[in-house]
A and B are shown apart, each in its own frame.
Chain A
Amino acid sequence: MTIETIILTILALPLAGALINGVFGKMLPKSIVGSLATLVMFGAFALAVTGFFHLHEAKTVHLYSFLNFEDFKLNFSLQIDALSIWMTLIITGVGSLIHLFSMGYMHDDKGYYKFFTYLNMFVFAMLILVLGSNYFMLFFGWEGVGICSYLLIGFHYSDEQKGLLNSVAARKAFIMNRVGDLGLLIGLFLLLAQFGTLEYSELADKILVQKINPSTWMMFGITLCLFIGAMGKSAQIPLFTWLPDAMAGPTPVSALIHAATMVTAGIFLVVRSNFLFELAPMTQDIMLYVGLATSLVSAFIAMRQNDIKKVLAYSTVSQLGFIFVSLGMGGYVAAMFHVTTHAFFKALLFLGSGSVIHAMHHEQDIRQMGGLRKYIPITHITFLIGTLAIAGFPFLSGFFSKDEILAHALHHNPVIYALLAFSALLTAIYMFRLYFVVFFGSFRGTEEQRHHLHESPLNMTLPLIVLAVLSVIGGALNIPALFGEKIAHWMGHFLEHTTAGLANVEAIHLPDSQTMMLMITASVVTLAALVISYIFYVKKSSIPVSDSQQSGLAKLSANKLYFDEIYNVLFVKPTEWLSRFAYNFVEITLLNRIVYGFASLVGKSGEIVRKWQSGVVSSYILWMVFGIVGLIVYYFIYQLK
């Protein structure tokens, strides 16, 4: 098989799965529906692996043109290079494990076939996003994943209590993303106006080879618009509040869409556009500080959340912020590295939380849990591994990927390094807090819940085990030079085969002593966090108090820094007010009054005219005839002259 066929088949498989399940799913038994959706994913993953080994050079596969104008084209074409293959591997790999997990998790759900249809559809859109060879294709997939995300967040829309709330969360996600999309769209218009094309390879050629250098302000505008798009999709301040709410969706959705894949689309966008961002240092700085702020703010909020999924959601936002810091410093490989390891351990943690929720009979409040390690051992061990990985425990995947970003920060500016390290410390603390509160101490739930407690079936625990293994060894993908030149930076070298740019971005090289120092600091930070959390939540076995009893900083954290309330006052309320004002005052009072005023004016101006305005049909037709007759008479007179 040529690489073109492989890539096309990868795209076709989830689409076929979605179509078959969408049309016939209702008639098919659940086992077939689930297996089909999962099998197409594993098939796609197998092909992606084959494609990975067949990849020799970057290629563009042109299928057809959406439109073909004289001044520009919009192509449906695919870009096959290291970056797109890498993303494909993550999407299909983690995706297939999550599909497998969902077969167990969603087993009793009435919308089983719909769920898998949406999930396959999502994967298809996500693949379009990463495989497209131009920004238009990216936008195509970008909006596509947005819809699937909307459908899946509001999946339980008819739930008696939470139905409407779920759909509100879904709508919030869609609308906030649309704000970002508008930014992205304008970025595309600017690119088109400036370069006349949206193809990555042509743009890179124009900038890197032909050295067309637009003004700094133009590049600033373009990249800022792209970054606004990325803010929406990747949940950065100020467009981040949708992601925690998106946890209303079923847990596998949170794992796949809102942790491992879709939310990294913004990062992918920036990495893809690295040659643009390199020309816009101002945007890079903005990206850096936005990322840093997001990372700290959401880590702070995560400290006092009591919903197991909310903690993980804020943690995701925080990690994404971390990655944006890296992008802001030009650390594209480091960013992709962390995207990869984050996909492993965050998917693991979400699926683990899903397993916990499953065992707890849909309880998500960690205050109702406790001591679960005895009841669900596999979930416990894998969750522990995930926690250690994200906390940056020495030699697990998160340790290496975080360290690389920290190395960039140290190289860039020590203050940023310190702040990032602090954010990492917070991450470790709230993750261990979560782990200890859920799995240690004594069980605090109801008797009924205790009775239900059970380990999940194999199709749920198997993905956990695989992801746990990946979370442990994932760091080997891109270890620092300290461990030997030959095996080091494997991923960095691989990604150099990306169309446009990545090879041109200079890698940073820290001396071995500094690398050592970084690693030791990181390990100390993690261990300190572990000890603090252990003392506080296990030795003292303190349980998080209810939100109303919080005070000071803890209260701020528990209330999510009042972001939702502030947005409500700043944006939602004024828009609603404006809407009412526009309709009640401008439309009804003002414009309508003018129209009726005009009508009565005409009415008063003559008895005959008023009769014609009576609204009677015959009079109306008479008017029309009058018009035509008038015209005829006019021309008779004109001809006679």
Chain B
Amino acid sequence: MELLLIPLAFTLISLFVPKQTLKYLALTGAAASLVAGIIHLVSYCSCTNFVTIFNPGIATMFGLTLKMGYDGMALVMILLTNAIIPLIVLSNFDKEIGSNRKFVAMVFLMQFALLGVFTALDGLLFYVFWEITLIPVFLIALWFGAAERKKALMKFFIYTFVGSLGMLAALMTIKVYSASFAYEDLVAAQFSAKTAYWIMGGFFLAFAIKIPLFPFHTWQPETYTISPMGGTMLLSALMLKMAFFGMIRWMIPLAPEALDGWLCIGITMALIGIVYAAIMAIKQEDIKRIFALASISHVGLIAAGVLLWNKDSLSAVFLQMINHSLVAVGLFLAAGILEDRTNTRNLYELGGVAKLAPKFGFWFAVIGFASVSVPFSSGFIGEFLLLKELYSYQWIIGLVAGTTLVFGAVYTLRAYQLSMFGAPKLTEFRDLSWNEWAVFFIIGILVLALGLFPQYIFNLVGPSIDHLMETVNSSQIILN
């Protein structure tokens, strides 16, 4: 339970701490959560299915049970959250925003809500935490975003609201067939194939918008672009991972019989997104938008991996989620550094930065290469596995998705080249400060470690995936 209480406590504390010490407090809080997460990792044993962290033991009104717990998959997400939050705090450490009370409080609130999403074992609770995550990212963008934020946020709001409605409707429908909102009751619920189809549809709408999948993605580039760096990091590195996790934990297990019906649509959407976003990214001039579009392309592949729903693809999904989070933080930090010091995000106004700031040039290159999934980076194996699974599903789909290998190299190298290479267009460019360097360094180490030893993650999630598959299969057998 301390997993959730620490960030919640720091949300409150940060409202009352003097401004000068705020950033140190933020770092302490983030580190405390990380330590708590690691303690859970060390003591984790895959022998039990769910490790319960909260269970009031009483069935409250209308079936709300408030059960919370984690398995291997949730543990990976918890650790990911608790590792990314310190990186976000550290990225903003020497900035004005890093000492802003509202910002720090919202970051912790986000962490609290995310951990709630990942540990909720009660449908309604999951929904509530899911909705709470919107508050911090929305407010951060509203308070600290770029000038043109109003219109983009409006779009963001409409989209997510529609998605939430879909999920709410699905939850309400399934409750009709279930004794309570407890996870095991919801999984065991029996209903007709048609009902299942619409239940999955409701969830799918919410998740497809959050990921986002084509054609529900148009909020994403704008919201990413107008949000301040910290907000973009929260959105891309953490918030969208809730959707993948939601698919794996909730959407498919609750209505597995509907997967066949949605598979084709889902994969098509993912596939279009992969290629379409990559192609759009090729000629963009705004470096942050390039990375936002790159993100759509990358997450499309992950979404396809979830929908394929077998052990290998799900294992790869978890590895790739971690990779995407790490790379997203790195890329948006790089974009943030460029924008911060030059006051422009336009590639054609940048150039030659590598010569002025060699450390930045080096680390930006490392992250850039990690984002095109070169060997020794965690993306290499994740992408290899996901493409392989897609390929064995339908060879032509694997081939089309594989073009991201080429397009990814095109837009990433172009962005890097135009901003960093050539003769310098600026007279000076401050090289990395220690905290920025630390963020890049940590990301680099993690990317390398996971690139060489991905099996560690697979061992962690493997038993839980097995268990999940078993549960889903047995519930389907009863039905048949």
Cβ distance B444 to chain A, nearest Cβ, rounded Å: 12
Across the interface, do A636 and B62 meet the contact criterion of CB distance under 8 Å? yes
Across the interface, do A67 and B168 meet the contact criterion of CB distance under 8 Å? no
User: Does residue B42 face the partner (Cβ distance < 8 Å to A)?
Assistant: no
User: Does residue B18 face the partner (Cβ distance < 8 Å to A)?
Assistant: no
How does the 8 Å CB contact mask read for A171-206 relative to B, with 1 for contact and 0 for none? 100110011011001101100110000000000000
User: Does residue A613 face the partner (Cβ distance < 8 Å to B)?
Assistant: yes
Cβ distance B170 to chain A, nearest Cβ, rounded Å: 12
User: Does residue B376 face the partner (Cβ distance < 8 Å to A)?
Assistant: yes
Task: Find chain B residues with CB under 8 A from A602 CB.
Answer: 158
Among the 9-residue stretches A269-277, A283-291, A364-372, A624-632, the one with 4 or more Cβ atoms under 8 Å from chain B is A624-632
Cα-based distance from A171 to B282 in the complex (angstroms): 13
Across the interface, do A66 and B381 meet the contact criterion of CB distance under 8 Å? yes
Task: Find chain B residues with CB under 8 A from A182 CB.
Answer: 399, 402-403, 405-406
User: Does residue B388 face the partner (Cβ distance < 8 Å to A)?
Assistant: yes
Q: List 13 A-B contacts (CB under 8 A).
A: A141-B375, A147-B374, A158-B423, A163-B352, A164-B421, A167-B421, A189-B387, A189-B392, A576-B282, A582-B276, A617-B138, A621-B135, A627-B168
Out of B279, B352, B391, which one reaches A189, CB within 8 Å?
Answer: B391
User: Does residue B434 face the partner (Cβ distance < 8 Å to A)?
Assistant: no
The residue on A at minimum CB distance from B284 is A583
User: Does residue B473 face the partner (Cβ distance < 8 Å to A)?
Assistant: no
Cβ distance A221 to chain B, nearest Cβ, rounded Å: 9
Across the interface, do A175 and B157 meet the contact criterion of CB distance under 8 Å? no
The residue on B at minimum CB distance from A634 is B172
Cα-based distance from A67 to B153 in the complex (angstroms): 42
Cα-based distance from A595 to B159 in the complex (angstroms): 9
Among the 9-residue stretches B230-238, B336-344, B409-417, the one with 4 or more Cβ atoms under 8 Å from chain A is B409-417
Chain A's interface: helix, strand, loop or mixed, by majority? helix
With A144-B374, A189-B388, A189-B392 as contacts: A158 and B421 at CB distance below 8 Å: yes
Cβ distance A575 to chain B, nearest Cβ, rounded Å: 6
User: Does residue A422 face the partner (Cβ distance < 8 Å to B)?
Assistant: no
Cα-based distance from A193 to B424 in the complex (angstroms): 49
User: Does residue B24 face the partner (Cβ distance < 8 Å to A)?
Assistant: no
Across the interface, do A582 and B280 meet the contact criterion of CB distance under 8 Å? yes
How does the 8 Å CB contact mask read for A53-77 relative to B, with 1 for contact and 0 for none? 0000000000001111111001000
Interface residues on A, range: 35 or more
Cα-based distance from A476 to B149 in the complex (angstroms): 74
Q: Which of B62, B369, B402 has the most CB of A within 10 A?
A: B62
Cβ distance A231 to chain B, nearest Cβ, rounded Å: 14
Across the interface, do B158 and A599 meet the contact criterion of CB distance under 8 Å? yes
Task: Find chain A residues with CB under 8 A from B276 CB.
Answer: 582, 586
User: Does residue A562 face the partner (Cβ distance < 8 Å to B)?
Assistant: no
Interface residues on B, range: 35 or more
Cα-based distance from A139 to B398 in the complex (angstroms): 18
Task: Find chain A residues with CB under 8 A from B417 CB.
Answer: 154, 164, 167-168, 171
Cβ distance B308 to chain A, nearest Cβ, rounded Å: 14
Task: Find chain B residues with CB under 8 A from A613 CB.
Answer: 154, 157-158
With A579-B279, A580-B283 as contacts: A174 and B388 at CB distance below 8 Å: no
A164-B423, A587-B280 known; 9 new pairs, CB 8 Å cut-off, are A66-B455, A139-B375, A144-B375, A158-B355, A158-B423, A159-B423, A175-B406, A186-B402, A192-B388
Task: Find chain B residues with CB under 8 A from A516 CB.
Answer: none
Cα-based distance from A358 to B163 in the complex (angstroms): 65
Task: Find chain B residues with CB under 8 A from A217 CB.
Answer: none
User: Does residue A567 face the partner (Cβ distance < 8 Å to B)?
Assistant: no
User: Does residue A157 face the partner (Cβ distance < 8 Å to B)?
Assistant: yes
User: Does residue A395 face the partner (Cβ distance < 8 Å to B)?
Assistant: no
How does the 8 Å CB contact mask read for B105-136 relative to A, with 1 for contact and 0 for none? 00000000000000000001001100100110
User: Does residue A615 face the partner (Cβ distance < 8 Å to B)?
Assistant: yes
Task: Find chain A residues with CB under 8 A from B452 CB.
Answer: 66
Seen from chain B, the residues whose Cβ lies within 8 Å of a Cβ on chain A are 61-63, 124, 127-128, 131, 134-135, 138-139, 142, 150, 153-155, 157-159, 161, 164-165, 168, 171-172, 175-176, 215, 218-219, 276, 279-284, 311-312, 315, 351-352, 354-355, 369, 374-376, 380-381, 384-385, 387-388, 391-392, 395, 398-399, 402-403, 405-406, 409-410, 413-414, 417, 420-424, 452-455, 458
Across the interface, do A178 and B128 meet the contact criterion of CB distance under 8 Å? no
Cα-based distance from A147 to B398 in the complex (angstroms): 24
Task: Find chain A residues with CB under 8 A from B281 CB.
Answer: 579
Across the interface, do A174 and B409 meet the contact criterion of CB distance under 8 Å? yes
User: Does residue A210 face the partner (Cβ distance < 8 Å to B)?
Assistant: no
Task: Find chain A residues with CB under 8 A from B280 CB.
Answer: 579, 582-583, 587
Cα-based distance from A69 to B313 in the complex (angstroms): 11
Cα-based distance from A141 to B380 in the complex (angstroms): 12
Task: Find chain A residues with CB under 8 A from B387 CB.
Answer: 185, 189
Out of B158, B159, B352, which one reaches A158, CB within 8 Å?
Answer: B352
User: Does residue A591 face the partner (Cβ distance < 8 Å to B)?
Assistant: yes
Cβ distance A291 to chain B, nearest Cβ, rounded Å: 24
Across the interface, do A186 and B398 meet the contact criterion of CB distance under 8 Å? yes
The residue on B at minimum CB distance from A615 is B154
Task: Find chain A residues with CB under 8 A from B63 CB.
Answer: 635
Cβ distance B381 to chain A, nearest Cβ, rounded Å: 6
Across the interface, do B458 and A632 meet the contact criterion of CB distance under 8 Å? no
Across the interface, do B402 and A163 meet the contact criterion of CB distance under 8 Å? no
Out of B165, B279, B369, which one reaches A575, CB within 8 Å?
Answer: B279
With A158-B423, A164-B422 as contacts: A178 and B409 at CB distance below 8 Å: yes
User: Does residue A140 face the partner (Cβ distance < 8 Å to B)?
Assistant: yes
Cβ distance B6 to chain A, nearest Cβ, rounded Å: 24
Cβ distance B317 to chain A, nearest Cβ, rounded Å: 14
User: Does residue A568 face the partner (Cβ distance < 8 Å to B)?
Assistant: no
The residue on B at minimum CB distance from A614 is B154
The residue on A at minimum CB distance from B149 is A615
Out of B131, B158, B402, B405, which one reaches A624, CB within 8 Å?
Answer: B131
With A591-B215, A595-B218, A617-B142 as contacts: A67 and B455 at CB distance below 8 Å: yes
Task: Find chain B residues with CB under 8 A from A171 CB.
Answer: 413-414, 417
User: Does residue A160 face the partner (Cβ distance < 8 Å to B)?
Assistant: yes
User: Does residue A143 face the partner (Cβ distance < 8 Å to B)?
Assistant: yes
Task: Find chain B residues with CB under 8 A from A167 CB.
Answer: 417, 421-422
User: Does residue A212 face the partner (Cβ distance < 8 Å to B)?
Assistant: no
Across the interface, do B154 and A599 meet the contact criterion of CB distance under 8 Å? yes
Across the interface, do B62 and A639 meet the contact criterion of CB distance under 8 Å? yes
Cα-based distance from A201 to B355 in the complex (angstroms): 47
How does the 8 Å CB contact mask read for A482-510 relative to B, with 1 for contact and 0 for none? 00000000000000000000000000000
Task: Find chain A residues with CB under 8 A from B159 CB.
Answer: 595
The 7 lowest CB-CB distance pairs between A and B, nearest first, are: A635-B62, A164-B422, A158-B355, A579-B283, A579-B282, A167-B421, A157-B421
The residue on A at minimum CB distance from B457 is A67
User: Does residue A521 face the partner (Cβ distance < 8 Å to B)?
Assistant: no
Across the interface, do B413 and A174 meet the contact criterion of CB distance under 8 Å? yes
Cβ distance A20 to chain B, nearest Cβ, rounded Å: 16
With A69-B458, A158-B423, A189-B391 as contacts: A140 and B375 at CB distance below 8 Å: yes
Task: Find chain B residues with CB under 8 A from A144 CB.
Answer: 374-376
Cβ distance B87 to chain A, nearest Cβ, rounded Å: 23
Cβ distance B188 to chain A, nearest Cβ, rounded Å: 19
Task: Find chain B residues with CB under 8 A from A69 CB.
Answer: 311-312, 315, 458
With A144-B375, A171-B414, A628-B128 as contacts: A71 and B455 at CB distance below 8 Å: no
Task: Find chain B residues with CB under 8 A from A636 CB.
Answer: 62
The residue on B at minimum CB distance from A630 is B168
Task: Find chain A residues with CB under 8 A from B420 CB.
Answer: 157
Out of B176, B283, B406, which one reaches A583, CB within 8 Å?
Answer: B283
User: Does residue A536 face the partner (Cβ distance < 8 Å to B)?
Assistant: no
Across the interface, do B406 and A67 meet the contact criterion of CB distance under 8 Å? no
